[in-house]
Amino acid sequence: MINFYCPLGQRPNGGHKVIYNAVEELNSLNINARVLHPIPNYRLKWFNSKAKVNSHKKIKSSEYFIIPEICLSLLDEYKILNHSKYSILVQNGYLYLGTENPRESIKKFYENADFIFCVSQDTLEVITMLFPDLSKKIILFEPLMTKFLAEKFDPVKMKIISYMPRKNPLYSDIVVNMLKLHLPKKWEIIAISGQPENKVIELLKKSSIFLSFSGLEGNPLPPLEAAILGNIVIGNHGNGAKSYWNEPLFIKVNQDDIKEYVKKTLEMIKQIDLDNNINSNYEDSRLDLISSLKERTSLATVISNLIASKQLNTSQLKEEVEYSYSISFYRYLSWRIRVKLKAKSNHSIL
């Protein structure tokens, strides 16, 4: 059994989606895997997935674990990192220390992991810089976009600008308010906030421009999803998306360059109004992006290949201890409170 640990939370989160997609794909390959939430029978509901989730309160030390980089300390509390074999899933290399992980033991966690799976080339480079002696166990994967690639949409778009306000809300609020003062008639700005995946897809199919307010990212999914569905993306790549952030489909603006956000967006609005559609250059760029995405190697594929080559053995790798672990909601809640308090005290450091 492979347990993919996943924190609680019903708000849209790209990291959670990556975990669920990996488990669902492994299940389809007849590999025994499940999402391990802190409480049994818990399932994310903001997007559809057939991934198996844990249904029991007990987990065994002989099982295998895939642990997000920010959750190592919680699993360490259960002594899982002492008694079980595991790999680390790094979805944001810039948070490798994180507020959740104690500074004194973070290197030990990485040294004892079988593999370190990194969600983008940029994340891989960050982790390799931090742990050059562990380079042989650092492996690249990238999120597959199968669902979005299968979507069809009308090439004649509506005069809609979409964005996600939870990404750097201060900057996004200022940009949106400045844009509203200069927005031509019939154009509107719509925030994508806390909506299920199917509604996000329908909005992105209609919108013409997507504003990206990424901070430091591992591999941000929203701008990629928007581009696949025919949006011109304006904004910051957060480093994690710089490998595909190419004009004309993606227009780079530094995170704190408010005036440039507004200027580039108004220029694109003018161009769309004159053409009344996205011209062939943008469509060619979108098709090139889609072609490159189809060549990506998913996390599930990486893991299944490691299992097939016997580099990763997920069964009975260590002697079974006499007890099993009980994932307690109250213990999890206590850990989250400590994390929040520590985040405030370490804010100046991070």
**Do 69 and 39 meet the contact criterion of CB atoms below 8 Å apart?**
no
Q: Is the pLDDT of residue 345 over 80?
A: no
CA distance 8 to 220: 20
What residues form DSSP beta bridges with 2? 33, 64
Strands 325-326 and 58-59 come out as: antiparallel
Average pLDDT for 251-257: 90
CA distance 278 to 347: 42
Q: Is the pLDDT of residue 100 over 60?
A: no
Highest mean pLDDT among 30-44, 124-138, 163-177: 124-138
CATH number listed for the domain at residues 146-293: 3.40.50.2000
Average pLDDT for 180-206: 90
Query: Which pLDDT tens digit goes with each residue over 264-315?
Result: 999 999 998 887 556 778 888 999 999 988 888 999 999 999 999 999 887 7
pTM > 0.75: yes or no: yes
Q: Is the pLDDT of residue 342 over 70?
A: no
Q: Is the pLDDT of residue 350 over 50?
A: no
Q: DSSP letter at 53?
A: B
Confidence label for 179 from pLDDT (cuts 50, 70 and 90): very high
Rama region for 180: left / alpha / beta (φ>0; ψ in -120 to 50; rest): alpha
Of residues 88 and 332, the one with the higher pLDDT is 88
3-state secondary structure of 274: helix
Confidence label for 136 from pLDDT (cuts 50, 70 and 90): very high
3-state secondary structure of 271: helix
CA distance 84 to 89: 16
- Percent share of the chain, pLDDT over 70: 88
CA distance 9 to 46: 10
Same fold, 2-144+296-345 and 146-293: yes
**Which fold does the domain 2-144+296-345 belong to in CATH?**
Rossmann fold (3.40.50)
Q: What is the pLDDT of residue 169?
A: 83
Average pLDDT for 184-191: 93
Return the domain boundaries, the chain: 2-144+296-345, 146-293
Query: Which pLDDT tens digit goes with each residue over 5-42?
Result: 998 877 778 889 899 999 999 999 999 999 998 888 88
Of residues 326 and 58, the one with the higher pLDDT is 58
Cis amide bond preceding 223, omega within 30? no
